[in-house]
Structure 1
Amino acid sequence: MIGIGLIAGMSGSLVGLGGGFIVVPALAFLFPELPPSQLAGTSMAMLLFNSISSTYVYSKQKRIDYPAAIRFALVAIPGSIIGALLATMITGKAFFVSFGIFLILVALLLLFKPTKPIAWPFRPTVQRSFADQTGFRFDYAYHMPTGIIVSFLVGFLASLFGVGGGSLMIPTMTLLLAFPAHIAVATSMLQIFLSAIVSTGTHAFLGNIDWMMVLFLAPGAIIGGQIGARIARRLPGQLLLKILSVFLIIVAIRLMFSGG
């Protein structure tokens, strides 16, 4: 459990997903008797600890767009509550197959994404310009209503499947909202942390969390989150997105195989 948490925390923080895409398939493989609701709830509780760790590192690097993360998280929270409630109703096969298809579509989008952000028909409503810890300046503009709408869907899917939600939020931020890759990853992690607080609480209330597993997953996730955030700082933005797409395809195949 500690090893799974370490790998999940490191890889999840590296690409801004939170690590649930590692924990859910791993727990499904080791404990096939666990229902989807337990997989999602336990993974979400681990993500809460992982996101605390990696968000702290990204905040020190000064790469988090705080206004965007807070606004997106406030909209994602209602969706996360609905997702947690519906998690108890979804069957095992439907859970794995639908999530696997979703991840493959996202991975293909990243692998074949255009070199520049998609020309969105709506004019930007927010202008951002700030420098990170190294002094590198990021300048970009985005359409806030688009981010708000997608954030609600992200909160729902993240809580339903027990993942961080970055698999949908990061492509949206980089392709539709024109966020730089590094800012998208860091901002996504803070959003995951904020929405994971409510999502974990809802899963706990519903009895969907195996706290003994979380007790061993969390320490590894905290350490892995620190390592992943520091590695991400040294990687080019495009390489981060390619790493993300490869992870998603591997996990999707694993999930669909489990669903069969």
Structure 2
Amino acid sequence: MLLTYITAGFAVGLLVGMTGVGGGSLMTPLLTLMFGVSPTVAVGTDLAFASVTKGAGTITHRFNNTVDWAIVRRLCIGALPAALAATLALKYFGALDARLGQIIRYSIAGSVMLTVVALLFRRRMLAWVQAKPGRQLQGRALANATIFSGAVLGVLVTVSSIGAGAIGATLLVMLYPKLTPAEVAGTDIAYAVPLTAIAALGHWWLGSIDWMLLVTLLVGSVPGITLGSMLARKVPERFLRGLLAVTLTGVAAKLVL
């Protein structure tokens, strides 16, 4: 079974390296559907998994100067308190309760579908924003919208472990269309590190992290992400994102049904 988990970590790392999509939209449904891990444990373990992998990514982006720290601070102002509040809510309502587990299962499915929308329509959203510069937010309105987006992502990520990747990047593109793709990726990864870390600590407090599972997933994911990053330039991005969107749509349907 350990070899199976390592292989799963490698496969997810490979896809994340090639597509740039957050591992939560892949790993959490995989743990729930294929390995029978309870939704709450799958979410908690994946959050710890994400905090480690995104931390390594942030170091690289920092050296490349592709992180907008002002945006990171705004996102964290909204996301971190929201993550704490969501953790307390899970504790109050019973994180390991069967009925709440079903709700989390549905929230995972919803988050997966939001990821699909982000994958398929991100370029069209960006084109629409750039075509209507007069409608772009500025100043205080932009700061408030960023903080609010962070709060929404904080709740979504804490409950389902999904949202910090493709959804977060899409929101950044909509709010800050002048950022380069590298800056979008770096900023998205940087704010996700404290968010996933706090959410993971919350799930540790709730007792919903499988540490042995986490270690085996990381053993596979590190070489997978490295290889995926090397292959990214050789495989058409549009093909990969289309394939991933179809796969995630099937995953969401399976979670609901």
Alignment TM class, shorter chain as reference: 0.7 to 0.9
2:253 corresponds to 1:256:
yes
Residue of structure 2 equivalent to 1:45 = 48
Deviation at 1:202, TM superposition (A): 0.8
Identity of aligned residues (%): 19
Amino acid at match of 2:105: F
Q: CA deviation at 1:98?
A: 3.7
Deviation at residue 68 of structure 1 after TM alignment: 1.5
Quote how far apart the aligned CAs of 1:243 are: 4.6
Corresponding residue number in structure 2 for 1:68:
71
Tell me how far 1:251 sits from its aligned partner. 2.2
* 1:23-172 correspondence to structure 2 within 5 Å: 23-32=27-36, 34-87=37-90, 88=95, 91-112=100-121, 113-114=124-125, 116-118=127-129, 119=132, 121=135, 123-125=137-139, 143-163=142-162, 165-172=164-171
Greater fraction strand: 1
Contact 1:6 1:222 in 2 (8 A): yes
Matched-pair contact (CA < 8 Å) for 1:2–1:220: yes
How far residue 227 of structure 1 moved from its aligned partner, in angstroms, is 4.6
* 1:191-202 equivalent positions in 2, closer than 5 A: 191-202=191-202
Per mean C-alpha deviation after superposition, the further-off stretch among 89-98 and 168-177 is: 89-98
* Aligned partner letter, 2:252: L
Q: TM-score, normalised on structure 1?
A: 0.77
2:7 maps to what in 1?
3
Contact 1:19-1:47 within 8 A present in 2 as well: yes
Say which SS state the counterpart of residue 116 (structure 1) adopts.
helix
Residue correspondence of structure 1 range 219-230 to structure 2 within 5 A: 219-228=219-228
Deviation at 1:188, TM superposition (A): 0.7
Native 8 Å contact 2:29 2:251 kept in 1? yes
Q: Which stretch has the larger CA shift, 83-92 or 147-156? A: 83-92
Q: d(CA) in 1 for partners of 2:38 and 2:247?
A: 22
Pairwise CA RMSD: 3.1
Q: What is the CA–CA distance in structure 2 between the aligned matches of 1:101 and 1:148, rounded to whole Å?
A: 22
8 Å contact 1:104–1:252 — kept in the other structure? yes
Q: What are the equivalent positions in structure 2 for 1:238-257 lying under 5 Å apart?
A: 243-244=240-241, 246-257=243-254
The answer to whether the Cα contact below 8 Å between 2:66 and 2:183 also exists between their aligned partners in 1 is yes
Maintained 8 Å contact 2:75/2:191: yes
Deviations 1:103-155 (A, max 9, x none): 324423542424525247354239xxxxxxxxxxxxxxx92221111011101
1:22, distance to aligned residue in structure 2 (A): 1.6
Deviates more, 1:249-258 or 1:184-193: 249-258
Q: Distance in 1 between matches of 2:234 and 2:87?
A: 34
Counterpart of 1:214, as a letter, is L
Cα distance in 1 for partners of 2:27, 2:35 equals: 12
AA aligned opposite 2:217: L
TM-score, normalised relative to structure 2: 0.78
Q: Which amino acid aligns with 1:68?
A: I
- Cα distance in 2 for partners of 1:223, 1:185 equals 20
Q: Which runs of 5 or more structure 1 residues have no equivalent in the other structure?
A: 127-141
Is 1:216 equivalent to 2:225 in the alignment?
Answer: no
Aligned residues between the structures: 241
